[in-house]
Structure 1
């Protein structure tokens, strides 16, 4: 008689073709495989659109998925990664995001959720998955491995077989081509003796998953190219939907809640996050939106001055009586100089929108509080029109109603306005000159083009709600920066008959208060802070 091992070997050999068919079927139909391991209770019942999503990931060499918040795209993305790691031995697949922390958090949360819904997966895991603040490593019995990387130079030189780029709308194309695209250059080899490269495998697959972004950006152009390549049958797929598809299947928030958000949120924010529309101007834009996105390198906001740097506040005063359009904005700009006192960097460390409907007295109190927090050297206020009302209040001696402490009385630097208390500190720069808008626009464009301006990075943690008044203090400046970029993307540059520049809004429903506050502050810094230091250095040289 044959021993048991021989019987087992003969049994395996006898049914080898069936195993082959099973693996081929599961690779080609990932959704049906997930059905196969779904427990009787507590699992996920996949909807038709989710099945299409999973099959596209398994069948095409590159996929661009543009879906709204609440759709469940990250869950499907990780499900696709798990399926790949199980059915392709020794494959290495990675999720990339703006930071490794972001990617690690997403993979850990979704992987734990998936194993909860599909407990059979735990038998496919080798050892214990390793999760930390900025790393993930999940090793499967097949030898497949899932980990995370950042969309940054730190990932250069790494090698993986497939990549999933999370929040792809934020990608910098130059960095993508230099760092991320080469990561998947080396294809997977089979684990048999011959170690072959399977020509029918999706070697070098890169998938892009995101909410929509801005027209004219690198990723918008990538979308258009991939749509053409999809029509030309080059193995590319572009999928997308708005919020209504998930709601139709009963996923995410109810229809009433989303429509309520639509009535309250910025139309640009809603269009990108819920309608999957690419927004902004592609022709005649104020600035190249790619260059604006590249400025988002500042990781943390500042809520008070550091005691050694110069700060300037730019204040744009609300001009509309509309409830949704009467918020004054304050831009907090930090100046960084080199050893020769030349300005090398201007960082927008905080951006504040004052509460809706606040009167000039209340606005003056908030502006003076901010000036005290940062010990700001100058507060630039547009006093044309309604801005005069705020300026008048700033010229008064102000008492903090919460603490009873004096917030001070200010004088203007450049006008003959009389403060309530003589010889008050000259803090206010009152923008009064007619026709200065052209110069403000030019200085803003210059700061963007030169890369001197630094903006806060996008907060990709989707756990916050922009309408939630309890949003953490730390997240608010990031959110305000998102809204600033929406405003910039909504502006078109127009030249008047007198060859002067002006800007116009593509849609009046999107404000430009944040842009105005920032642009005024940048104009002041360029024309006065830099100029003053140059004069000072020249005088020192002459004296010596």
Structure 2
């Protein structure tokens, strides 16, 4: 900063001397104005070099320099450290909470690089291009509002739904990419990965890491690669994720490399740091949110406390594989119909884990809807978790039974089981679940529509329903003695990637195939999918000499959604997988000719 002030002072003196000289007619006749300008630059060339070096190394002080006298943006100490790290290290991993201002600092670093490195190509990548474009446009407007002089460094800026182009007067460019296979083959000089906790290492190695393979060349006559430039820079900015994930392991490796002085650095902070500087929500607001019984403990730990959650050792499944299963873009709130208005020929299995409590903090009833996808030979290729429903706490068993029967109808359930799209309703029949099964075996009328919802019967018990024409659709699952098989079946469906989950959060476009009124319900299904992942990440295997069980790392995190899913998958494995195998076996037997 002092060198720049010295440059200003010297330049001011030169201007005064030149103005006095201009009064001399003899001088004007001998020196051209262009020569004066040239001499001005040449005479101060070393100071310009020193200024550029200073500005590249102190991006926060450069932003202070161009900040307007009134307004602008005041950078706090923690933000200055983060901004300097983004400019000085070959790779920075920042794990910060909501409200920290990390994306704003990230874009400030990108624009600063675009100004001071001619012809540099920069990109930010996010889960989708739409998400990256939305973030970029919002922060660009804020940045220009805070630092209006930046407009003098920008030739063009254009933003659309899924693209961004900012061209700097230096020749540098800024654009966006998606964390997807569509990015393969793209080339940039530097890359910033937004919400990197959602990455998997396979995608990173195959798609994102090669993006920065080609270094920037200087714009002089020689066009050389500067040995002092941080070519191939990749920065990661995110809230925290799950222990055992690829990104968790990347951070551990980067911490080791940081200790070995390999040009990498890892930074992190909880909500208390931005709160100390008065950014984001107040301490009272955040503590109230943390203590709210409706707030997910896992979600708060990741979004605000920057804690990597889940089991460290002995996890139930590989969390990276579980996250990879999120491929479904649309929730199914009912069985879809074809163009003629007929129900599509789908197969559904409903899984129910039963609870009854009026306290929000206690376990809750969870209902999962699994859609079975078969190949041309009838073998199951995918089991899609298309919806998760969590009834309000406090519902009695009769009210819960009405909800289950409504779902049965909604997903194409039929009294004629040969035509029914719902193949089974699997219910945890241990203790509390018996109460729900008893109610399902009774005739009931929908109190809202006055529609007769019918009477159900169990497939595998001797319980008597209200009448003989009841639909045999309830599978009363008692986990005692078969818990090992249930757990192994769940692990197998995850490991083989047959199970597919809904995409969550920013990975999907905010559109609905069912209409605007159902968008909230679809968002709830995706929210429950995220909480399902939270539950599974909180489970670890506990092995004894005779059996295996699952154990919660944190007791306050429920496992109801996991249980409902595991029960339904076990039923599919036990009956629907083998049903096709047996059918194929009989078909082969029929082809045998006996003499």
Once the 2 structures are TM-superposed, how far is the Cα of residue 319 of structure 1 from its aligned partner? 5.9
Q: Partner residue of 1:105?
A: 134
Once the 2 structures are TM-superposed, how far is the Cα of residue 471 of structure 1 from its aligned partner? 8.7
Q: Partner residue of 1:419?
A: 465
Q: Partner residue of 1:476?
A: 524
Distance in 2 between residues matched to 1:356 and 1:60, nearest whole Å: 51
- C-alpha contact 2:359 2:393 (8 A) present in aligned 1: no
Q: Partner residue of 2:5?
A: none
**Structure 1, unaligned stretches of length 5 or more?**
465-469
The residue matched to 2:376 in structure 1 has which SS? coil
- C-alpha contact 1:305 1:374 (8 A) present in aligned 2: yes
Q: Compared with structure 1, are the counterparts of its residues 321 and 402 closer, same or farther at alpha carbon in structure 2 (3 Å cutoff)? A: closer
CA deviations on 1:80-99 (whole Å, 9 max, x unpaired) are: 11111111111111111122
Name the Cα RMSD after superposition. 1.9
Distance in 1 between residues matched to 2:67 and 2:465, nearest whole Å: 74
Q: Compared with structure 1, are the counterparts of its residues 463 and 300 closer, same or farther at alpha carbon in structure 2 (3 Å cutoff)? A: closer
Larger radius of gyration: 2
CA deviations on 1:408-446 (whole Å, 9 max, x unpaired) are: 221111112222232122221111363121111010000
Distance in 1 between residues matched to 2:557 and 2:332, nearest whole Å: 26
Once the 2 structures are TM-superposed, how far is the Cα of residue 261 of structure 1 from its aligned partner? 1.3
The residue matched to 1:377 in structure 2 has which SS? strand
Q: Partner residue of 1:506?
A: 553
Q: Does 1:284 align with 2:314?
A: yes
Q: Partner residue of 1:439?
A: 485
Q: 1:494 aligns with which of 542, 561, 578?
A: 542
Q: Partner residue of 2:475?
A: 429
Q: Partner residue of 1:348?
A: 385
- C-alpha contact 2:325 2:501 (8 A) present in aligned 1: yes
- C-alpha contact 2:358 2:393 (8 A) present in aligned 1: no
TM-score, normalising length from structure 1? 0.95
The residue matched to 1:199 in structure 2 has which SS? coil
Q: 2:501 aligns with which of 452, 455, 466?
A: 455
Distance in 1 between residues matched to 2:105 and 2:575, nearest whole Å: 53
Q: Compared with structure 1, are the counterparts of its residues 46 and 236 closer, same or farther at alpha carbon in structure 2 (3 Å cutoff)? A: same
Q: 2:579 aligns with which of 532, 539, 542?
A: 532
Distance in 2 between residues matched to 1:456 and 1:80, nearest whole Å: 34
Q: Does 1:294 align with 2:324?
A: yes
**Structure 2, unaligned stretches of length 5 or more?**
1-29, 337-343, 413-421, 511-517
Within-5 A mapping of 1:323-342 = 323-342=360-379
Distance in 2 between residues matched to 1:28 and 1:445, nearest whole Å: 50
Q: Partner residue of 1:270?
A: 300
TM-score, normalising length from structure 2? 0.87
- C-alpha contact 1:316 1:513 (8 A) present in aligned 2: yes
- C-alpha contact 1:130 1:136 (8 A) present in aligned 2: yes
Q: 1:3 aligns with which of 13, 26, 32?
A: 32
CA deviations on 1:475-502 (whole Å, 9 max, x unpaired) are: 222221111111111111112231x211
Q: Does 1:195 align with 2:223?
A: yes
Q: 2:43 aligns with which of 1, 7, 14?
A: 14
CA deviations on 1:163-205 (whole Å, 9 max, x unpaired) are: 1111111111111112111111111011111111111111101
Once the 2 structures are TM-superposed, how far is the Cα of residue 133 of structure 1 from its aligned partner? 1.8
Distance in 2 between residues matched to 1:309 and 1:126, nearest whole Å: 55
Once the 2 structures are TM-superposed, how far is the Cα of residue 322 of structure 1 from its aligned partner? 4.4
- C-alpha contact 2:356 2:394 (8 A) present in aligned 1: no
Q: Compared with structure 1, are the counterparts of its residues 222 and 270 closer, same or farther at alpha carbon in structure 2 (3 Å cutoff)? A: same
Q: Partner residue of 1:467?
A: none
Distance in 1 between residues matched to 2:224 and 2:257, nearest whole Å: 29
